[in-house]
Structure 1
Amino acid sequence: MIEVNFDGLIGPTHNYAGLAHGNLASAVNAGRTSAPRQAALQGLAKMRAMIALGLPQGVLLPHRRPDTDWLRSIGFSGSDPAVLAAAARDEPVLLANACSASAMWTANAATVSPSTDTSDGRCHLSVANLTTMRHRGIESVQTERQLRLAFADGRFFAVHGALPAAFRDEGAANFMRLTTPEGADAVEIFVYGEAGAGGFPARQDLTASQAIARRHGLAPSRTCFAQQSAAAIAVGAFHNDVVAVAHGHVLFAHEQAFADPIALHAFVRDRLPATRIVTVPAAEVSLATAIRSYLFNSQLVTLPSGDMALVLPQESRNEPTVWRWLEAEVARGGPIRRLIVVDVRESMRNGGGPACLRLRVQMSAAALATVDRRFLLDDAACDRIEAVVAAEWPVAIAPDDLGNPDLWLQCHRARAALLDALGFGPDAL
């Protein structure tokens, strides 16, 4: 099986509106001036770094923003400029929702079960509905359009639309998969929360996770539903991938990530005895520090050499207790052999680290050969994207700029230029 990370390119409307209740980084930075061009270039540099490591890399594209179709659905009418002008005048918070670039965090795009796990032998992708947050609930229609285009071959892929709104589903950010070292067997772990924990909303509910497992045809004996700890949610772990990450035969998590870690570990070890569970003790790195530094919102990847690397945000490198623990872990000879630091500061300030920016899709070589090549990156494609971003993306967006008609026009023009550069028609996505 080949794992491809599909990173979200940060869109031209990237701004700090502070819309995500429970996401502490988003709240702290609300009202600041953002740097969309720098943000997109930082994300693209991370994608280039993964390619340079010899890892397959894909991209998912920014959604159309501002989203005038959504504004029309809630009662605004007229031409696009008239709709946006009315929203800016009468409902600026709704306009901010319509401008959100949050689709860049593609860990929330869908939940993915590889073909080796499913009853029909196809890779299943379930689009997340993201209904807990208004600005994110807008995303599912455009996300589904991209996934259906990228993974169109029904012999290898099954793309499911979003669950009904009553089932809160936030995608792969609350999902982990572990395998044997050689990848022959696997377990899928769905992590859910209890509503209202710590005063913050639990973004993933148990019924949504169960529905996706049924849809994907997963074997109950190899499917686990684990509850996120209330303490983690209360301190700002709005998704499980802020306190835990899994890859291959390694589960890397904070001591306080799960409500019942003993039961989870027992489930995994019973089915996959070779699993390496790496736990960061609260006595060495507090839960608050882990969340602030996004230690666990990192990418665990297997390099072509076979070594496992942890791709971390610069913020983790800058946190002394975090970096001290990581260096000691590498020195102990554990499964994580390399630490690779990337700069995704603009995304981090809005509440998303390296892991938030990518959706992992594991597939066979035959399946990969059918993926729409426009969503797969090489250096030449990165060059084309970089040229468009450098020429078209806004340099800065202050809070009051969201009501500026010139910004709306620039952002629509920027996305159109990107679609053209990558070979998509103006109405393809």
Structure 2
Amino acid sequence: MSHPLNAELSEVDGAIYPPSTKDNILHFDAEETPVLRIDDDHGEEKDDSSSCGVGQIPAEAEDAKPEPIEALASSLTSFLGVGAPSVPLPSSASRVVAPPPSLPPPTTASGMPRWVTDDDPRVTRGEDGKWTAIIEVDPKLHGFLIGTRGVHSKEMELATQCHVIFPGRDSNSPLIRIVSALGAQNVALCLDRIEATLHSRSVKSGLNTNRKNGTHFAAIPCNDPWVRQRFLTFQDLMMTTEEVDPSCQVEALFPSKMKLHLTIGHLQLETDEEKELARKTMDMLKEKYAQRPPIEVHIDGFDVATEDQTAVHVLFAKVHGQGVQELIDDIRDELAKADLMTKVDKRSVRLQMPLMNSRYAATDENGNRSKFGNAASNRKTFNPSWIMREHSDFPFGSFTLNRFTICNVESEDETTGYYECFYDETLN
């Protein structure tokens, strides 16, 4: 708004003010709360008795000082009919927030940058001004957090603006260090992500639960041509003999002849690092037994896991041979030392080759059967007592043990008919 060049100026406590106007101004009476009066030009008579004229200062204001801003705010809220704000001022945050990069940070007496107080006990601040935290994680899980070629750790660093420092490859230290120059909240967020990732992995994979199958299993293939032929003879005997209980005459109970194997134990292998550790362990065992005389494996007779032979879930063929038990236990023990086994029994591994399994024939709630036998909501026992009684020493044949495998659970190699393997090596 422009003013005449010859208009009088007003002075209050040495401050020079331009003349007020009659339009859109606040009018203050001597002993009243300030009243907002909007003057208009609708032809109504205006009362200027209490307003300040052009170039004039009310007598009451000559010795008065400008009201504090708090008083003006109080008066304005009273006029508008609202009280003080009902939302309380924010208290000290539990985690600090990094300041905008365009603002210079305030400092403490020691000259260190300071924004808000952080009370997260997991995060500390060093003399260099950086926020730091250390989290203890099982070294076997470091590879899971790092990911292939560091993809997981890089993503975490980018998302939280932290530097995540893992122990060296040859170190068994469980300590992971997290550093950020931005703020404690960044470090706390990174900690939260690590903990959530580990929790998600344990829930997804069944770690620390009763799950026994794991992701892989170590096995000795028993699909020698002669053993395969004898298995088909056994299957035909069970399916065509009238004396056999009808519960056994379900073709889905029998595995593929190409999948005959001796199970050593189940493993939990989800990262490249875990698989590499399993591979190195098996390579060490392969070199060890390659220097020894060949081991002959003999398979004959039947075995079940329960005392009642009339209601079983699995029928096995017995496996034996000089040196077989030592080899199988040695493989189990070395994989257990690497902490790759889902379950470790102090007893020797039972030398068995599965012949029939109710899991293979199980169906889900809709009656559908899984290709790999994992629809186990409707498993039914079967009665193999006739074959165990009448053919207790049924011969399945012999072969020279010359192959170690680590197989994917519930899989099939389309080329060989055996399980998909990430480790499949011969002794010589």
Higher relative contact order, structure no. (Cα contacts within 8 Å, ≥ 6 residues apart) = 1
- Mark yes or no: TM-score above 0.5: no
TM-score by length of structure 2 reads 0.21
Larger gyration radius, structure 1 or structure 2:
2
Structure with more of its chain in helix, by fraction: 1
